[in-house]
Amino acid sequence: MELQKGGNCALAASQGTIYIKHSASSQVDVNLTAFLLDETGKVLGDEGMVFFNQPADPQHIARFTAPKTSADQTVHQLDFSLRPASQPIAKIAITLTEDKGKGFAGLDLSAEVHCNGTVTVLTPQSFTTEKGIIVAEVYLRNGQCKLRSVWQGFATGLAGLCGMYGIEVEAEPETELAPSPTPAPTSVPISKPTPAPSVNFQKVSGKVDLTKGQKAVLIEKTPEITASISWNSGTDYDVYALVLLNDGTQVDVATFGAEGVPARPNFDNGAVRHGGDVKQGKSSFFSEKPKISKEEIKIRLNDRIKAVVPVAYSAQSNGSGSFYRYKVSMMIDNHQGTEIHIPAENANQNDAIYTCVPGIIINTPDGVMIKALEYYSQQGSENRPILFVNAQGEVDVRMDIGPMNDYK
C-alpha cells in the first residue's frame, strides 16, 4: 500500500516498525527522534522523547534502534506499540533532523511502515534546506491505531520540532556544533531564530484593495488587528487561523478540531483568538442586497508570532457553494484607519473546492506586512494547509497536506 503525503490509513495492528531510509553521506548527520504526545499534541515530560540517548520510554511505546549504514544507504528504525492502554499517550510523531546544517537535499528519502505482515510506503516530497522533518504520525482514533504520512519540513530543525511539541529550548549564539548532539532530552541548545526581514517600502493607510500578484503592502502595527472573512449568506463557511511562531511551531486557532488536533479558539492569552460563531449581517425584507455573514480572527502580535494565515473553509457536510459564487473576501483592519481588502476573485464555480487562503499577515520589525495569496485546495480535499519557511526565508503555505478537519 502507498500513502501519499497528507494521507492516513488504519493499521492492521497496534504494533509495528517504521524504517526511514536515505542516501549514505559523510556530509550530513541525520538523526531520528520520536515524540510521545498526549491529546493536546504535547509531550508530558523528559520521557516524551525517544532517540539515540534515550532509546525507549518506560512503557516501551516507542523503541529506538541505532541506524545501520551500508555502502550507499542509511536505515533508521523505530518500533512502536500504541494501544488504548497507552493513555495519556495518544500519538507518536516520528521525525528526522539534519544536524550539520546541510539539509535534506538530494538524500533520496523514503519510509515504510511494517505492521502485521503488511507494508505501507510513505511517499515523500522533495526537500532542500530544511533541517527538520516530521515524517509520520502513529496515533489513536476511537481506539484504533492509525498512520498519517506527514513529510512536513522545518527550517529550524530540532528547535522547531521541540517547540511544536512543548519542549523548552535554550537560545544561545550560533556556534559550530560538536559531532555528538546534546544528551539532555528536554533542553536543546539552538541558535536564535532569524528575525523577520526588514522591509524597505512605506506604510499604506486608508482603504486598500489588494489582489493576487500585487506587491505586498505594509501597514501600521497596532495593539489589535482584526482579520475578518465574509461571504454572501446561503452556505455555511467556517474561519480558522494558522499561526507560525518564530521557533517554527504551527498553532491552529479554530472552534473545531482536525484529525489529531483539538479545537483551540484562543492562543497565548488572546494573542490570536477566534471571534466566535458566524455573524449574520442584517437585511430588510424589502432589501435586494444579500445578507452578509462574517467570522473574525482577533490578532495581538507579539515577539513569538512570525505570521498569521486566516483560512476560509466550507465542509462538505455544510452544503455546496463555491468561493466565487458567494463572493468570499478578507478584510484586515488595524483599527486606526487602515483596511486591506483581499477578494477571492480568481475562484471558479467549482462547488467541491472547500478551502481558501486569501492572504497572509506577517509580523516584521517595521510593521505588519500583508500579502494576497488566494490559494485554493484540491477538489474534494478537506485537509488543512500547513505553514513553512521556504529557501528564501519567506513564510508560505502548502495546501492539502495537513490533518483532515473533523466532521461538522
Please name the residue that has the C-alpha cell 516530497.
Answer: 125
Q: pLDDT value at position 66?
A: 92
Q: Are residues 181 and 213 in the same domain?
A: no
Beta bridge partners of 147: 9, 138
Q: pLDDT value at position 186?
A: 38
The residue count for the chain: 408
Confidence band for 178, pLDDT divided at 50, 70 and 90:
very low
Beta 15-23 vs 30-37: how paired, if at all?
unpaired
> How far apart are the C-alpha atoms of 240 and 318, rounded to whole Å?
16
- The 8-class DSSP code of residue 8 comes to E
- Domain carrying residue 351: 206-398
Q: What is the mean pLDDT of residues 186-201?
A: 41
CA atoms lying within 13 Å on the CB side of residue 175: 7
Q: Are residues 16 and 64 in the same domain?
A: yes
Q: Are residues 210 and 338 in the same domain?
A: yes
Q: pLDDT value at position 118?
A: 94
**Tens digit of each residue's pLDDT (9 = 90 or more) over 96-114:** 999 888 889 989 999 999 9
Look at residue 78 and tell me whether its pLDDT is greater than 60.
Answer: yes
242 touches 398 (CB < 8 A): no
Least confident stretch, 23-27, 74-78, 187-191: 187-191
Please name the residue that has the C-alpha cell 483592519.
Answer: 333
378 touches 396 (CB < 8 A): no
In three-state secondary structure terms, 126 is coil
Look at residue 125 and tell me whether its pLDDT is greater than 60.
Answer: yes
Q: Are residues 321 and 211 in the same domain?
A: yes
Q: Are residues 224 and 123 in the same domain?
A: no
Q: Is residue 405 part of a domain?
A: no
CA atoms lying within 13 Å on the CB side of residue 291: 14
384 touches 242 (CB < 8 A): yes
Q: What is the mean pLDDT of residues 331-342?
A: 93
Look at residue 290 and tell me whether its pLDDT is greater than 60.
Answer: no
Torsion 376-379-381-382 (CA) sign:
positive
Look at residue 198 and tell me whether its pLDDT is greater than 70.
Answer: no
CATH code at position 362: 2.60.60.30
Q: pLDDT value at position 107?
A: 92
* Closest among 27, 113, 39, 130 to 76, alpha carbons compared: 113
**Tens digit of each residue's pLDDT (9 = 90 or more) over 214-236:** 889 999 999 999 999 887 765 66
Q: What is the mean pLDDT of residues 43-47?
A: 85
Q: Are residues 237 and 129 in the same domain?
A: no
What average pLDDT does the structure give for the chain? 83
Percent of the chain with pLDDT over 90: 44
Look at residue 206 and tell me whether its pLDDT is greater than 50.
Answer: yes
C-alpha grid cell, residue 86 = 497507552
**Tens digit of each residue's pLDDT (9 = 90 or more) over 130-149:** 888 999 999 998 889 999 99
Q: pLDDT value at position 191?
A: 37
Beta bridge partners of 347: none
Q: Are residues 215 and 182 in the same domain?
A: no
Q: Are residues 127 and 225 in the same domain?
A: no
The domain tally of the chain equals 2
Q: pLDDT value at position 189?
A: 41
Q: What's the one-letter identity of residue 295?
A: E
Beta 169-172 vs 188-191: how paired, if at all?
parallel
CA torsion, points 181, 185, 189, 191, in degrees to nearest 10? 90
Q: Is residue 198 part of a domain?
A: no
Look at residue 284 and tell me whether its pLDDT is greater than 60.
Answer: no
Q: Is residue 196 part of a domain?
A: no
Q: Is residue 197 part of a domain?
A: no
Q: Are residues 121 and 220 in the same domain?
A: no
Q: Are residues 270 and 151 in the same domain?
A: no
Q: Is residue 327 part of a domain?
A: yes
**Higher pLDDT pick, 168 / 320:** 168
CA atoms lying within 13 Å on the CB side of residue 348: 7
State the first-to-last Cα distance of the chain, in angstroms, to the nearest integer: 29
Q: pLDDT value at position 174?
A: 44
Please name the residue that has the C-alpha cell 478537519.
Answer: 405
Q: Are residues 162 and 121 in the same domain?
A: yes
352 touches 320 (CB < 8 A): yes
Q: Is residue 408 part of a domain?
A: no
Least confident stretch, 7-16, 110-119, 178-187, 307-316: 178-187
Q: Are residues 153 and 236 in the same domain?
A: no
> How far apart are the C-alpha atoms of 281 and 52, rounded to whole Å?
57
134 touches 91 (CB < 8 A): no
Look at residue 279 and tell me whether its pLDDT is greater than 80.
Answer: no
Cβ partners under 8 Å of residue 160, min gap 6? 131, 132, 154, 247, 248, 249
> How far apart are the C-alpha atoms of 182 and 200, rounded to whole Å?
40
> How far apart are the C-alpha atoms of 337 and 254, rounded to whole Å?
28
